Amino acid sequence: MDQAIYLATLVGTALVLAAAFSSLIAFRFGAPLLLLFLAIGLATGQDGLGIQFDNAPVAYFVGSLALAVILFDSGFGTPVNVLRQAGLPALTLATVGVAITAVVFGVAAHYLTHFSWLESFLLGATVASTDAAAVFFLLRAGNINLRERVRSTLEIESGSNDPIAIFLTLTLVEIIAIGVNPEAQLLFTDLVVGFFVTMGLGAAVGMLGGFAIARLVDWLNLDRGLTPIFVLTLSLLVFAAAGAIGGSGFLAVYLAGMVAGNSDIRGAAALKRFQGGMSWLAQIIMFLVLGLFATPSQFPGLLLGAITLGLFLIFIARPLAVWLCLKPFRLPSAEVAFISWVGLRGAVSILLAITPLLAGLEHGRLIFNTAFIIVLVSLFVQGWTVGPLARRLGLIVPHRAGPIEKVELELPGSAHHELLSYRVVPGSPVLRGERLPRWARPSLVVRNGGSMKFPDFGKLMAGDRVYIFVHDRYPALLDRLFTSRVDVDPEDAEFFGAFAVDPDRPASDLEAAYEPGLTEAEQKMTIGELFLSRFGGHVEYADRLNLGPIELIVRDMDEKGKITAIGLSFEPTQPQPLVPENLRERLRALFGRGDGTMSSRVSDEA
C-alpha cells in the first residue's frame, strides 16, 4: 500500500513538473501552452506510457473544481473600467455569440457526421465557448501589445462565456438522456426559461458571494498566510452553493471574483499572487487529467470528419457569430477579424464533452473524441498565428514606455495604503528633473547596499531602490516617473502619423485644409472633442479615427483620460494586403501613386 502511494505521488509530481517546465518552451516560441499540457497527458496515458485512467466522473469533478479556481482568478483580475470599456461587445459574444456558434456548427455537424440533430447541437454546444487560459496565455506569452479595446473584449469574452456553453450542454444532455423528442417550440421555450433561471440564480449568488468575501476578509482580520486559503475556499463555496440551488456555479464564481477584486479587499496584492499560482496549478492539473482520459487509438476512424468540423468552426461558424454580434458596435473590420480568429477552444470544451459519457449516451465516447480532435485543430491552426496576424492587421501598438521594476507591499492594518518599491532605471523622468508629487515623497532609498532616509539621499541616481508610501489610488500616476524612455522601432515610426496636431485646435481647421466632410456641429468642436464625439465619449491610446483623406491617431493621454497629443496620417490604415511589397510598389507606380506627390505634401503640411 505504501509503495502504491509513493509511486502515485512520484508520477503525479513528475507530470506537474514536466508541464511547468514545458511553459518555458511555450514562452520562448509562443506555442499554445494548453497544447503542450495535453500532449504530456496523451504521452503518459493509455496509448503512451500506459497509465490507465478511464474514470469519467473523477475527470469531470477534478476539471470542474479546477475551472472554478481559474474563473475566480479571471474575475478577480478584471477591472471595472475594462468592463465598462468592452463589456457590451464582450458579453454579447459570450451569450448570443455562443448560441449562434452552437447552432451554426450543429447544422454542419449533422450533415458531416452520423449524429442526430440533438447530438449535433450538443457537439456544437461543447465547442462553442473560447478558452480563457489559452487566450490569456497567448496574448501574454507573445508580448503582444494589442489595442486595449481588442484585448479587453477577448479577455472578458473568454472569461464569461463558459457558463452559457455549460448550460446549453447540460440541457441538451438531459433532453437526449430522457429520450424525448420535444417539439421545436417547446424546446426553445424550455431553453429560454431555463437559461434565465440558471443565469439569474448564478448571478445573484455570485454578486452576494463576492460582496461577502470582501467584507469577511476585512472583518475577520485573519492571519496573512491564512487569508488567501480562506478566500479560495469561500470562492468554491459560492460555486457549490449556486449549483446546489439550480444556478450556474461557474457564472457565480466568476462574478464573485469580479466583485471581490474590485472592492477594497484587504491584502489584494497578496491575494492576486496566491490566486495566480493556484490558477496555474489548476490549469496544469485539469489539462493533464483530460489528456490522460483521452484515447488516441480511437481517433483514426473519425479523424477526417473531426478535422473538417474544426476548420468549419474556425473559418465559418466563429467568424459568422462574431460578425453578427459585433455589427451593432461598428468596430473596425481589422478588430472584428482578429477577434474572430482568436477564438481558441480548450479545456472547457473537452470537459463538457465528458458530460455525454456521464449520462450514458449512446454516442458519448464518439462525441468526446470528436470534440477533443476539434480542440487540437483549433490550437494547432490558431494558436501559432495570433501574434503574426495581429501585426498584419495593424493592431500592435508601439510601446510608449519601457519596463517598470516595481514591487507592491501590503501594510498590516492599512486597507487603503501601499508601500511601493521602484528601481530607478536609466532614462526615467525622475533622473531628468521631474519631481515626485508631495503626496509621494520617498521614505527610504537604498543605494549601493546602504539605506538613506528622506531627504538625506539628495538627487536620485540610476540603480537606486526607492520606497514610497502612498494611497492605493495613486500608484498608476507614479509609473510614468520611473519608467524608461523607449526608442520607437523604425517599423513603427509612421504608426502615429506624419506629424502632430494640437487637440485643442478647432476641427474647422481640418475641414478647411482636407475637406473630410465634417458637419457644422462638428466644425464647432475642438479636434480632441471631435475624436471623443466619434468614439462615443471614450478613447484610448493609439485609437484611430478615419476622416476620408486623413486619419487621426491618439498619440498620448493624461491620467484623467484627456487626449494630449494627436497624430495625423495621410494614408488611412487598412488591413495589409496579401500582395508582396515590391508588387505593390510597381502597381502604385503604374497607376500614378508612386510619384512622390504624397511625401511632398507631408513635408509642406509639417
- Angstrom distance (rounded) from CA 191 to CA 149: 32
Among 339-348, 356-365, 453-462, which stretch is predicted with the lowest mean pLDDT?
453-462
* pLDDT band at 594; cut points 50, 70, 90: very low
CATH 3.30.70.1450 domain position(s) in the chain? 406-482
Which percentage of the chain shows pLDDT scores above 90?
24
Q: Which residues of 311-339 are buried (b: 16+ CB within 10 A; e: fewer)?
A: ebbbeebbbbbbbebbeeeebbebbbbbb
2-48+83-192+265-392, what's its fold? Na+/H+ antiporter like fold (1.20.1530)
Q: What is the pLDDT of residue 410?
A: 60
Q: Within the chain, which residue ranges are assigned CATH 1.20.1530? A: 2-48+83-192+265-392
- Say whether pLDDT at 168 is over 80: yes
Choose which CATH entry (3.40.190.10, 1.20.140.10, 3.40.50.880, 3.30.465.10) describes domain 495-575: 3.30.465.10
Burial class (CB in 10 A: 0-12, 13-18, 19+), 230: middle
Higher-pLDDT residue of 303 and 567 is 303
Residues 6 or more apart in contact with residue 156 via CB below 8 angstroms = 78, 82, 83, 86, 87, 90, 91, 94
Residues forming CATH 3.30.465.10 domain(s) in the chain = 495-575
Q: What is the CATH number of domain 406-482?
A: 3.30.70.1450
pLDDT at residue 40, rounded to an integer: 82
Residue spans of beta strands (DSSP E) within 353-405: none
| pTM score over 0.85 | no
Q: What is the DSSP string of 492-520?
A: GTTTT-SEEE-TTSBTHHHHHHH-----H
Q: Is the dihedral of CA 132, 135, 141, 147 positive or negative?
A: negative
Quick one: pLDDT band at residue 187, thresholds 50, 70, 90? low
Q: Which three cell numbers stand for residue 548?
A: 476620408
8 Å CB contact between 369 and 302: yes
Query: Is the separation of the CB atoms in 235 and 213 below 8 Å?
Result: yes
Mean pLDDT of 548-561: 77
User: In which band, very low, low, confident or very high, does the pLDDT at 417 lie, cut at 50, 70 and 90?
Assistant: low
Is residue 402 predicted with pLDDT exceeding 70?
no
- CA-to-CA dists, residue 465 to 314, 408, 445, angstroms: 49, 13, 6
